[in-house]
Structure 1
Amino acid sequence: MIEIQSPRVLPSGDAALTVEFGRSIDIEANRRVLALDHAVAAAHIAGVTETVPTYRSLLIHYDPVRIGFAALSRQILALVPPDTPKSVVIRRWRIPVAYGGAHGIDLDDVARAHDMSTTELIARHTGGDYRVAMIGFTPGFAYLSGLDPSIATPRRASPRTHTPSGTISIGGTQAGIQCLAAPSGWHLLGRTPVRTFHPQRDPAFLLEPGDAVTFEAIGPAQFDRLDSAAERGEPVAELIAP
């Protein structure tokens, strides 16, 4: 039986508070975070201006002129689910990925580390049923839970100073979709033409915490076609279910 820990409410400056569920990355804690996030949104609490869900905590911004820390804490704690809720799926996406070669320069090394072929590694990666646990690091970067434990790989000893936008990577037990060119210590398996972040798009972020994601392997030629379509502003990620 999984022990349900009571959340801690912590002040985060004079206009925000954090509701913390545990102190480690945990799928059950993340489910409670997302359930509370949805409950707060539905409650329309006067003074709450923004919420930011993470793996194990929910940051809540508020206007201290309209509501104080103590009063808000009481209202928030009343919304915490008593049990671990089932996984809440907002939407389900199918994301195309070109694996290996120039798009995934670590694919061969990761396959060798797990004593399997690249074909098997791709099959296990595309076979995962992922959930967006949180958005962070850079705008739109999706941290995904649900990686097959058999391909979990420790982060690189020496991070790269540059990895391209759209990189599909794994680090430890996590998977990720990199939205912008940025440094990374994760292993690069492939690349997607999907723009998960675009500042001129409304909403700017394609993915939201709680979304489900599956990956579909594509070839280099198809990647180029979809990349050109994405550059023109056409949608290339498939929304399977609302």
Structure 2
Amino acid sequence: MSNTENQAVGGEATVVFQTMGDTAFSVEFATKVDRVANARVMALHRMLAKAALPGVIEAIPSFGALVIQYDPLSTSRAELQQAVEAMLPQLKPEAAAGRLWSIPCCYDAEFAPDLAEVAERRGLTPAAVVQGHSQGRYFIYMLGFMPGLAYMGGLSETLHLPRRSAPRLKVPQGSVAIAEAMTTIYPWESPGGWHLIGRTPVRLFEQHRPEPILFAAGDEVTFRAVSRAEFDKIAAEVAAGRFNHGSLKVMS
């Protein structure tokens, strides 16, 4: 079997199988951020988990592809690809049944070093950028890069910009950022090249919680603009371990 092969999926799409090293391959439904393709990725992910094929170590979903890692002593790429091909016509993409979160975000200048530049480059006022961002409803396609970091699609086209040409070496924890068609929240202090337009006092990862990572793929997020005083109040509750993260959940 070839390393790359196209297969029809129910007459609706084309799948590309790509080799990823000696013990993994990807099943690619799309090369761009697409809710329909992502629904097919997640449907295949569910089918693989249910099938429990021998030798599969892990299946990792992304925007438009599913990476399958396997043990070459227990199975082969050819055997697994054949099994996946048999599943493709049976895929039943379903609408995401995730949770909806309302996340407080302070857009004050201290927390938004790129807000003025984003506004200037998009021909908007800073207030219009805040309004455009806070009125969005964002779909979490995947988590990655670091624990708790969510790649959220659905950013208004009026705010689309490529990533910064010079990434920062340190982005503060809780920074709310945008790049291209997406928004995210940095769960840790880390390097980063997205445009910083606000900050949340909410911690997206805390090891002591029953579910350490707040978000999951398939969830949706809205941002609620808060004052600096409310930001500080929530931050103090978080630091003291008194903040109820369940209060951020709009629905299950």
The TM-score normalised by the length of structure 1 is 0.87
What's the CA shift string for 1:43-62, capped at 9, x where partnerless?
A: 34344333221112112233
Give the match for residue 251 of structure 2: 241
Counterpart check, 1:61 vs 2:73: no
| Percent identical | 35
What's the CA shift string for 1:106-150, capped at 9, x where partnerless?
A: 112212222223222222111112111111222221111111111
Give the match for residue 37 of structure 1: 45
Selected match of 2:234 from 215, 222, 226: 226
Give the match for residue 13 of structure 2: 5
How much is the aligned-residue C-alpha RMSD, in angstroms? 2.4
Matches within 5 A, 1:43-192: 43-80=51-88, 85=93, 87-192=95-200
Counterpart-to-counterpart distance in 1, 2:59 and 2:239: 31
Counterpart-to-counterpart distance in 2, 1:74 and 1:225: 56
Do 1:28 and 1:84's aligned partners in 2 also have CA atoms closer than 8 Å? Answer: no
Give the match for residue 3 of structure 2: none
Counterpart check, 1:17 vs 2:25: yes
Do 2:42 and 2:93's aligned partners in 1 also have CA atoms closer than 8 Å? Answer: no
Do 1:167 and 1:188's aligned partners in 2 also have CA atoms closer than 8 Å? Answer: yes
Counterpart-to-counterpart distance in 2, 1:16 and 1:202: 31
Instruction: State how many pairs are aligned.
Output: 240
Q: CA deviation at 1:175?
A: 1.0
Counterpart-to-counterpart distance in 2, 1:127 and 1:85: 28
User: 1:216 is paired with a residue of what secondary structure?
Assistant: strand
2:178 maps to amino acid: I
Larger Rg over CA atoms: 2
User: 2:14 is paired with a residue of what secondary structure?
Assistant: coil
Q: CA deviation at 1:168?
A: 0.7
Say if 1:216 and 1:5 are closer, same or farther in 2 by CA, change over 3 A: same
Which is worse superposed, 125-134 or 61-70? 61-70
Which is worse superposed, 171-180 or 33-42? 33-42
Do 2:44 and 2:91's aligned partners in 1 also have CA atoms closer than 8 Å? Answer: no
